[in-house]
């Protein structure tokens, strides 16, 4: 199926070349015959203006198919950072602390390297309303995505025209990365949606109270993802310079907007001071600014633009499941065209939404490149601005020829359907990754719901990273019980690993550790990754019966466990 996706992307590039050639030929013929485009253009615009509600009805169907259908079920796996956030959100909803007993943390510790907190607080509210289930865990990210789709349309509709806004919206809701993004509860997944809200309120702001609203949303954005601490200041600096240059904002309004931004930013600045060891107090009233065990400040370096810039750009534009390959040349075309137009608009000191998008994309990209981008998650904020320039390119290539525009729409729909089939049948179901799991959480639920297995000591030998977190989201231990029962062991090289949580869940990381367990002492339940076949055979040779469950084998001696998958 992956090869089908790759083939579709390749053929779309070939078709794009033909479309560009045909468009240039048709444009030449029109110019040669001195045929005016105004009537054709007005027909497209009139159609969009007249039928935009009907078009939005079609968009609603696409949105249902891409992100609402089987929401909470697909993806079937749970990301490790997603699971960590879920457990912290549960602790916050029930006890007002994270799992380490930090009261109302403004930044989460997670596994030691930290995690932004806004997603956890939104999920904790969702848990209060809808209970502990995957729909409740992932719902806030979906809602922010849907809001971002609406404000993206409103932003471009008000700033340009409905034709551009509708095509832009169509590209957003059919983009693979946005589909993937809306379905997982990762803290960074909120950044793109909040950033579009920021652009919307900045574009709308004229009165002082509107700048206050814009400042509040920009301040909230700082709690979506730590990389916003770099990218947002760069963007705001260039945006303010531009707005002052064209005399669309006053210093007073910048200060008014800056007050709520500063209020939101100060706790995070204090958090940095705490982790740099400059200040010691980690409490601000009821809020906690925790000390991270793995403070990753060394990952950010301006030299990374040179060191890892090409690698990061390759990830942003060419990683699987981000954007369709056809969008890469279209983005370049659209960006270059709008950059040329922006120079003229700057000379005329005119406000133009394309200039805002150029500022947004360029400044955020520069900020992101100061750190290595190994996965698209780190750069998710870029994908909506990228799609804006793709929109501009398509409209310019179409040159008001309806047939060419229809061909583009058909190609995108085919690519989207192709991706959706792949996602619903393969990528969202059977993705194998060291960082994702679901079966371990499901096994935990089965064992905890069975009174025979609930109190038996369990040993888990997992291939997955941080396996304990998948047990915890089903165990729902209180943070007090977690802190009191968790045990940590230091391994060779200084690596520390959790070897016990709760009263019955133990973790081993080496085959030799399984062999050190006295199998005759008492009844045990072993949950072993299928990757460790020798360990499974060792237990079977010691009279343990095995049951397969997904990527795991459950082994017991005298207990019957009924499982189904």
pLDDT in tens, 314-339: 999 998 889 999 999 999 999 999 99
> Do 69 and 140 fall within a single domain?
yes
> Do 197 and 330 fall within a single domain?
yes
- Interior angle at CA 496, CA 540 and CA 116, nearest 5: 110
> Do 444 and 413 fall within a single domain?
no
Burial class (CB in 10 A: 0-12, 13-18, 19+), 28: exposed
> Do 174 and 320 fall within a single domain?
yes
Q: What tokens does 439 get?
A: 């079966």
> Do 278 and 417 fall within a single domain?
yes
> Do 488 and 415 fall within a single domain?
no
Q: Say if residues 7 and 323 touch (Cβ distance below 8 Å).
A: no
Burial class (CB in 10 A: 0-12, 13-18, 19+), 65: middle
Phi/psi of residue 92, nearest 5 degrees: -65, -40
pLDDT per residue, tens digit, the chain (565 aa), is 444 566 666 666 676 676 667 666 666 566 556 555 444 556 888 888 899 999 999 999 999 999 999 999 999 999 999 999 999 999 999 999 999 999 999 999 999 889 999 999 999 999 999 999 999 999 999 999 999 999 999 999 999 989 999 999 999 999 999 999 999 999 899 999 999 999 999 999 999 999 999 999 999 999 999 999 999 999 999 999 999 999 999 999 999 999 999 999 999 999 999 998 898 888 888 999 999 888 776 778 888 888 898 999 999 999 888 999 999 999 999 999 999 999 988 888 889 999 999 999 999 999 999 998 888 888 999 999 999 999 999 998 887 778 888 888 999 999 999 999 888 988 888 777 778 888 999 999 999 988 888 889 999 999 988 999 999 999 999 999 999 999 999 888 778 899 999 999 999 999 999 999 988 888 899 999 999 999 999 999 998 999 999 899 999 988 877 776 5
Q: Say if residues 504 and 472 touch (Cβ distance below 8 Å).
A: no
Q: Say if residues 321 and 379 touch (Cβ distance below 8 Å).
A: no
Q: Is residue 563 part of a domain?
A: no
Residues in contact with 153: Cβ distance below 8 Å, sequence separation at least 6, in sequence order: 165, 166, 168, 169
What pLDDT sits at residue 43? 81
The closest of 467, 355, 347, 348 to 458, measured between CA atoms, is 467
Domain boundary among 430, 460, 487: 430
User: Tell me, what DSSP letter sits at residue 381?
Assistant: G
What pLDDT sits at residue 558? 81
Burial class (CB in 10 A: 0-12, 13-18, 19+), 15: middle
Q: Say if residues 201 and 213 touch (Cβ distance below 8 Å).
A: yes
> Do 304 and 441 fall within a single domain?
no
| Structural domains of the chain, count | 2
- Encode burial over 31-60: b for 16+ CB neighbours within 10 A, e otherwise: eeeeeeeeeeeeebeeebeeebeebeeebe
User: Tell me, what DSSP letter sits at residue 299?
Assistant: G
Q: Say if residues 113 and 296 touch (Cβ distance below 8 Å).
A: yes
What dihedral angle (degrees, nearest 10) is formed by the CA atoms of 489, 491, 494, 498?
A: -30
3-state secondary structure 84-95: HHHHHHHHHHHH
Q: Is residue 564 part of a domain?
A: no
Dihedral sign computed on CA atoms, order 338, 340, 346, 347: negative
CA distance 226 to 381: 12
CA distance 31 to 534: 74
Q: What is the pTM of this model?
A: 0.91
Domain boundary among 379, 409, 430: 430
Domain boundary among 430, 445, 467: 430
Q: Is residue 186 part of a domain?
A: yes
Length of the chain: 565
> Do 42 and 152 fall within a single domain?
yes
What pLDDT sits at residue 1? 44
Strand, coil or helix: 29: helix
Q: Is residue 476 part of a domain?
A: yes
> Do 404 and 478 fall within a single domain?
no
> Do 426 and 443 fall within a single domain?
no
Q: Compute and round to an integer the Cα radius of gyration of the chain.
A: 26
What pLDDT sits at residue 398? 85
Q: Say if residues 466 and 109 touch (Cβ distance below 8 Å).
A: no
Dihedral sign computed on CA atoms, order 80, 63, 2, 167: negative
Q: Is residue 423 part of a domain?
A: yes
CA distance 355 to 245: 13
What pLDDT sits at residue 78? 92
What pLDDT sits at residue 38? 47
Q: Is residue 196 part of a domain?
A: yes
CA distance 323 to 325: 6
Q: What tokens does 161 get?
A: 């025209």
What pLDDT sits at residue 522? 86
Q: Is residue 268 part of a domain?
A: yes
Which residue range is the domain that position 466 belongs to?
A: 436-556
What pLDDT sits at residue 375? 86
> Do 45 and 114 fall within a single domain?
yes
Q: Is residue 385 part of a domain?
A: yes
> Do 445 and 413 fall within a single domain?
no
């Amino acid at each position: 199926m992956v090869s089908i996706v790759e083939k579709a992307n390749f053929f779309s590039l070939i078709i794009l070349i033909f479309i560009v050639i045909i468009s240039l030929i048709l444009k030449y013929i029109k110019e040669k015959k001195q045929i005016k485009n105004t009537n054709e253009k007005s027909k497209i615009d009139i159609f969009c203006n007249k039928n935009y509600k009907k078009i939005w009805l079609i968009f609603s169907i696409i949105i249902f198919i891409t992100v609402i259908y089987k929401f909470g079920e697909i993806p079937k796996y749970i990301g490790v950072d997603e699971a960590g956030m879920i457990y912290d959100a549960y602790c916050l909803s029930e006890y007002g602390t994270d799992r380490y007993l930090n009261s109302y943390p403004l930044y989460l510790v997670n596994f030691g390297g930290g995690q932004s907190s806004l997603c956890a607080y939104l999920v904790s509210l969702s848990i209060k309303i809808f209970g502990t289930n995957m729909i409740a865990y992932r719902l806030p990210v979906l809602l922010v995505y849907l809001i971002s789709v609406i404000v993206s349309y409103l932003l471009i509709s008000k700033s340009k025209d409905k034709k551009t806004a509708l095509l832009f919206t169509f590209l957003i809701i059919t983009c693979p990365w946005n589909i993937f993004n809306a379905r997982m509860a990762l803290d960074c997944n909120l950044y793109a949606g909040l950033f579009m809200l920021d652009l919307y309120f900045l574009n709308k702001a004229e009165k002082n109270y509107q700048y206050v609203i814009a400042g509040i949303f920009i301040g909230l954005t700082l709690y979506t993802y730590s990389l916003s601490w770099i990218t947002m200041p760069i963007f705001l600096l260039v945006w303010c310079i531009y707005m002052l240059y064209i005399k669309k904002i006053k210093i007073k309004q910048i200060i008014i907007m800056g007050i709520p931004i500063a209020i939101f930013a100060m706790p995070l600045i204090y958090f940095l001071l705490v982790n740099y060891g400059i200040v010691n107090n980690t409490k601000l009233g009821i809020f906690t600014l925790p000390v991270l065990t793995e403070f990753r400040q060394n990952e950010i370096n301006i030299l990374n633009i040179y060191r890892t810039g090409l690698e990061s750009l390759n990830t942003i534009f060419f990683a699987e499941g981000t954007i369709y390959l056809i969008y890469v040349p279209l983005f370049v075309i659209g960006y270059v065209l709008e950059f040329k137009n922006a120079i003229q608009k700057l000379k005329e000191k005119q406000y133009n939404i394309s200039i805002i998008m150029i500022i947004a994309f360029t400044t955020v990209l520069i900020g992101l490149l100061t750190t290595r981008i190994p996965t698209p998650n780190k750069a998710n904020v870029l994908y909506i601005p990228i799609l804006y320039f793709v929109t501009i390119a398509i409209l310019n290539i179409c040159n008001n020829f309806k047939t060419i525009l229809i061909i583009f729409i058909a190609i995108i729909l085919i690519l989207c359907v192709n991706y959706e089939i792949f996602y619903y049948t393969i990528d969202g179901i059977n993705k194998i990754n060291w960082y994702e799991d679901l079966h371990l959480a499901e096994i935990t639920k089965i064992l905890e719901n069975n009174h025979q297995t609930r109190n038996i000591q369990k040993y888990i030998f997992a291939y997955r990273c941080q396996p304990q977190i998948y047990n915890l989201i089903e165990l729902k231990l209180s943070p007090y019980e977690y802190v009191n029962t968790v045990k940590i062991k230091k391994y060779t090289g200084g690596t520390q690993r959790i070897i016990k949580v709760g009263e019955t869940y133990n973790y081993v990381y080496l085959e030799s550790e399984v062999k050190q367990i006295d199998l005759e002492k008492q009844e045990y339940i072993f949950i072993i990754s299928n990757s460790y076949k020798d360990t499974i055979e060792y237990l079977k040779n010691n009279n343990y019966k095995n049951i397969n469950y997904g990527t795991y084998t459950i082994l017991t001696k005298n207990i019957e466990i009924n499982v189904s998958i």
